[in-house]
Amino acid sequence: MRILGIETSCDETSAAVVEETGDAAAPWAMRSNVVASQVAIHSEWGGVVPELASRQHLRDICGVVDRALVEGGSTWRDLGAIAVTQGPGLVGSLLVGVSFAKAAAAAANLPLVAVHHLAGHIESLVLQNGELPLPAVVLVVSGGHTSLYLVERPGSYQLLSRTRDDAAGEAYDKVAKLLGLGYPGGPVIDRLAKSGNDRAIALPTTRLTHADRNAPELKGDLDFSFSGLKTAVLRHVRGRAADTPLPDQEIADIAASFQRVVVSALIERLFDAARRYGAKSVGVAGGVSANSRLRADLKERGERREIPTFLPSLALSTDNAAMIAAAGLRKLRAGHTASLELNADAALTL
């Protein structure tokens, strides 16, 4: 069975065809994954402009779906279902994908599956690597989220912790902005950090020990916090002579020092959680999982702890529809379909 996936939650219009393999250990194969990025449109404004994003999704969605079908060697008649991101994300953007998917499901008489964006990021690990040894602890780290999930059974995602303030990707984007490096910040900081000294600037690491009043069900000590770090970088930059631009080497040193603190906070909590929950594997997914230091440190730490570690390919790290199609197949096989009453939900919980 082949499924068409559609993802429009933020600034990427994406469609993909994913197929079931019949192999329980590696259940899905990607036939196509087309992504139309809006980065060039939003970088002019220093961040995603929701109104521009939804209008661009409208322009791109038909062409992106057509290409995903052609590249996936499929016609509408070859499909068994349509999966779409219901939320969370920008509501105007989500609505384009949800409306398109509903119309296509009605016209082609196909079942519709509503997917949570973060379930998509988690299932990108399975699409890439096959089923993970369970229980697994998965870190989802993107521009909007930094959360740890326990996966005890396939398709079950239990939230263990989350960020109290900024997401890690958001911190990358804000620090890049204040260094004058443009949007999105993650890839450029990642690149500049390679030529910087990661101990050049002393930046704080935040360790939370108390429960979150807003999430009393979570213990709290595995939570993340990145806004203090961002403020420390801001103070460091402001503390310099205001009218002299920062030399390139100092920018590289700030990028490297910032990245060291972010990556070590992510890795520490991930492996703490893995130990606490007796995980047989760990995974990292979401846009920030494209980070070269995070990828290297994860591998190194996994080898030291003798626990298998999993990552998506770079194309499956950032937002894409193949992961939504994969998560959609998981839900479809568990018997969950949506009606044509489906609505986008900007604050959908997993």
**Interface residues toward ligand KG4, by CB under 6 A:** 10, 142-144, 169, 172-173, 184-187, 190, 286-288, 290-291, 318-319
- Bridge partner residues of 79 (DSSP): 2
Distance, in Å, from the CA atom of 125 to the CA atom of 310, rounded to the nearest integer, reads: 7
Stretch that binds Zn ion, among 129-137, 138-146, 175-183, 226-234 (CB under 5 A): 138-146
Tokens describing residue 246:
């920062």
User: CB under 5 A: which stretch of 134-142, 172-180, 234-242, 254-262 binds Zn ion?
Assistant: 134-142
Quote the least distance from Cβ 269 to ligand KG4, whole Å.
17
By C-beta, is 72 or 184 nearer to ligand KG4? 184
CA distances from 337 to 75, 78, 303 (A): 22, 19, 40
- Verify binding: residue 38, Zn ion, rule CB under 5 A: no
Query: Which of Zn ion, ligand KG4, none has residue 281 at its interface (CB below 5 to 8 Å by kind)?
Result: none
Query: With CB under 5 A as the contact rule, which of the stretches 26-34, 40-48, 139-147, 239-247 interacts with Zn ion?
Result: 139-147
3-class SS of residue 163: strand
DSSP-derived letter for residue 35 is E
Q: Assess 319 for contact with Zn ion (CB under 5 A).
A: yes
- Cβ closest to ligand KG4, residue 19 vs residue 317: 317
Contact yes or no for 56/48 (Cβ under 8 A):
no
Between CA 3 and CA 172 the distance in angstroms is 34
The vertex-296 CA angle with 290 and 300, nearest 5°, equals: 145
4 DSSP β-pair partners: 17, 82
User: In this complex, which beta carbon is closest to Zn ion, that of residue 209 or of residue 349?
Assistant: 349
Q: Does 142 bind Zn ion (CB under 5 A)?
A: yes
Which parts of this chain interact with Zn ion (CB under 5 A)?
142, 319
